[in-house]
Amino acid sequence: MSRVAAIQMASGPNVGANLIEVERLIASAVEDGAELIVLPENFAIMGMTEEDKVPLREAEGDGPIQSFIAQQAKDNGVWIVGGTIPLVSADDNKVYAACLLYDAEGNQVARYDKIHLFDVILEENSESYTESQTIEAGDHCVVVDTPFGRLGLAICYDLRFPELFRALLDQGVEIIAVPSAFTAITGRAHWETLVRARAIENLSYVIAAAQGGYHVNGRETYGDSMIVDPWGGVLDRLSNGSGVVCAEIDPVRLAQTRQSFPSISHRKFFCEMK
């Protein structure tokens, strides 16, 4: 078995202050025995506006945010899923929301660019979000071998698109990391349901690391970071505020669950009706 962790925080516009908090929380996770640590979406920057992250964009493999996470992984001897980091795109006014995976030696071993962008208006309070104005969408899913199992990457709004998770399953996924920053409104309505559903239907562990709390820009994020097992059971969770949730990933239990309840092999594919 391996011990994994999800970090929860309420990031602000000051990158340096955010990284100090990340370092503190990583140390707490390591002290609790975590070998794989998942950071939330936007861990390094939650700007006053969506445009604030664009000037901070980094080239892949080169930049202070990436160097910091790589060093944290190496110094602590742990794998880290680096939430989202703004990386350069062909459009100077946009970034990729890139989820980077680092191994215990500090090497980048995978990159996933957020595919589904949060362009919505919330009727309850008329909040609007238009991620596509500053983020370039990715176009491929990612699953990678790790010491803990086949790890798939997804980000926040991706949770609403089960076909992405089926694509991960087709690549042999066993553990899914989901860095997130759900709004308070959407989180109350759907967060737990979506996280547990993605675990249940894919018979996979889900590590959902969320932003949680009030932010300097006036935004409130839902939090409730959790680790869910392949049967949909919540192994650990944190309702709000900064902190760490930890749990054991048991590959034997995962294999036994998939064998005794073989719903994955029962999938049927329907063609369009004539």
- Per domain, the residue ranges of the chain are 2-266
Kindly report the backbone phi and psi dihedral angles of residue 80, in degrees, each rounded to the nearest multiple of 5, phi listed first: -130, 130
Query: Rounded to whole angstroms, how far apart are CA atoms 187 and 157?
Result: 11
Check residue 228 and give its pLDDT.
Answer: 98
- Residue 127: the pLDDT is 76
What are the φ and ψ backbone dihedral angles of 26, each rounded to 5 degrees? -60, -45
Query: Taking a C-beta distance cutoff of 8 angstroms, is the pair 210, 181 a contact?
Result: yes
CB burial of 32-42 (b: ≥16 within 10 Å; e: otherwise) equals eebbbbbbbbb
Segments of the chain with pLDDT less than 70: 271-274
Answer whether 242's CB lies under 8 Å from 235's CB: no
pLDDT at 271: 66
**R_g (Cα) of the chain, nearest Å:** 18
Q: CA 246 to CA 267: how far, in whole Å?
A: 32
**Predicted TM-score of the model (pTM):** 0.96
Could you give the C-alpha distances from 88 to 55, 96, 117, 119, in angstroms and in order?
10, 6, 17, 21
- Are the beta carbons of 201 and 213 closer than 8 angstroms? no
Homologous superfamily of domain range 2-266: Carbon-nitrogen hydrolase (3.60.110.10)
Q: Are 25 and 272 in contact (CB under 8 A)?
A: no
Catalytically annotated residues: 41, 114, 156
Element (H, E) at 101: strand 95-102
